[in-house]
């Protein structure tokens, strides 16, 4: 799981061109959007695409659940685990 | 067509400096005024454009903008086309920022400038079309002055066989205002007939020719490419 979380963090950094941010700077339970890491709605689309490509999981763009899945690295890791196993 | 030019800023990529221009175009891009979270999405094209827009804007915080480019952010567009060919999904960020008015849009958001902004593409004459449109807007009284900007990237490799001018990453911007009697001004005149502007590898983009002439303030300068030519004259006040 730690490996998956680091993989997700690396994907967040590379797909969103986060300059000056390393894997160690992102906490597992830190909010990704607005507060916390400070990502915005364009990042949400970009990250959704990157996760779809990397892990081959389907993401429903309009569901409330999707919002919850993208809340933090922990939430994303759980989501990906459930849909790839 | 008589007009006044102020705050001229020309930026040319450090590794592509042009002997005729001397050293004055060399400087680091200053984007310290863009928040890091916004800066991270900016392509090299966008960075050049924003740098010169900011430098030329200077004291004018709410100025209308005319932006032009022959090809826009073509490296970005070519990258998107590659993704389409490979049947990969397009990056929403790259798609959003590949449109022709992306640079002015981003500038408008960052500077909170809600003045009207045009984005023009008019082939080799793009910068002249930009100037003429800007002239019409200040002459008709719609604007007191206007920020004229032009940015161009070197063509991506697959398009290089179609190049018809010297390939240089560059961006130019200046403030255009109406001619006032007694002050120094420029006058642009279209010349008739064909010109021999030399071979396509050595013709400088018209935007650089224009910036060069505006900067040197020579009494008359010929601006030309294969299809057309203009005379830019400078008159002291």
Q: How far is CA A66 from CA A62, A72, B204, in A?
A: 7, 12, 52
What domains are there in chain A, each with its CATH number?
2-84 (1.10.1200.10)
CATH number for the domain harbouring residue B99: 3.40.47.10
How many domains are contained in chain B? 1
Determine the pLDDT at residue B179: 95
pTM of the predicted protein model: 0.90
Residue (of A42, A40, A30) closest to A71 by Cα position? A30
Nearest-by-Cβ selection for A42 from B36, B88, B92: B92
pLDDT on residue B12: 93
Nearest-CA distance B35 → chain A (Å)? 12
Q: Which residues of A touch B92 (CB under 8 A)?
A: 42, 45-46, 49
For A16-69, what is each residue's pLDDT tens digit?
988 778 999 999 999 999 888 888 888 998 999 999 989 998 887 777 888 888
Q: Is B2 part of any domain?
A: no
> Has residue B1 been placed in a domain?
no
Compute the distance between CA of residue B99 and CA of residue B77 in angstroms, rounded to an integer.
9
What is the reported pLDDT for B185? 97
Residue B197 inside a domain? The answer is no
- Whether chain B has a CB inside 8 Å of the CB on A35: the answer is no
Domain enclosing residue B59, as ranges: 7-178
* Low-confidence stretches of chain B (pLDDT beneath 50): none
pLDDT of residue B180: 92
pLDDT of residue B197: 58
Examine residue B213 and state whether it is found in any structural domain, yes or no. no
Task: Please judge whether A17 and B92 are an interchain contact, meaning their C-beta atoms are less than 8 angstroms apart.
Answer: no
In a domain, B58, yes or no: yes
> What are the CA-CA distances from residue B51 to residues B5, B149, B173 (Å)?
18, 11, 9
């Amino acid at each position: 799981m730690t490996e998956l979380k680091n993989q997700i963090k690396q994907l967040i950094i590379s797909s969103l061109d986060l300059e000056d941010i390393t894997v160690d700077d992102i906490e597992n339970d830190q909010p990704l959007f607005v507060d916390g890491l400070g990502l915005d709605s364009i990042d949400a689309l970009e990250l959704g695409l990157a996760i779809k490509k990397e892990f081959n999981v389907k993401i429903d763009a309009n569901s409330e659940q999707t919002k919850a899945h993208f809340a933090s690295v922990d939430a994303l890791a759980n989501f990906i685990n459930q849909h790839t196993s | 067509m008589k007009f006044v030019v102020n705050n001229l800023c020309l930026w040319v990529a450090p590794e592509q400096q042009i002997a005729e221009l001397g050293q004055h175009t060399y400087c680091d891009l200053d984007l310290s005024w863009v928040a890091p979270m916004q800066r991270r999405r900016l392509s090299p094209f966008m960075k050049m454009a924003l740098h010169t827009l900011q430098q030329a804007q200077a004291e004018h915080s709410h100025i209308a903008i005319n932006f032009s480019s022959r090809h826009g952010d073509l490296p970005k567009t070519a990258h998107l086309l590659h993704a389409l060919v490979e049947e990969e999904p397009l990056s929403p960020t790259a798609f959003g920022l590949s449109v022709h008015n992306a640079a002015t849009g981003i500038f408008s958001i960052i500077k909170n400038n809600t003045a009207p902004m045009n984005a023009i593409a008019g082939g080799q004459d793009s910068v002249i079309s930009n100037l003429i449109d800007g002239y019409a807007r200040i002459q008709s009284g719609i604007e007191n002055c206007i920020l004229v900007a032009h940015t161009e990237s070197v063509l991506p490799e697959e398009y290089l066989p179609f190049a018809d001018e010297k390939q240089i990453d560059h961006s130019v911007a200046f403030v255009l205002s109406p001619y006032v009697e007694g002050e120094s001004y420029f006058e642009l005149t279209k010349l008739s007939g064909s010109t021999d502007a030399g071979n396509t590898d050595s013709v400088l983009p018209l935007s650089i020719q224009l910036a060069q002439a505006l900067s040197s303030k020579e009494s008359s300068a010929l601006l030309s490419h294969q299809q057309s030519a203009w005379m830019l004259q400078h008159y002291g006040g």
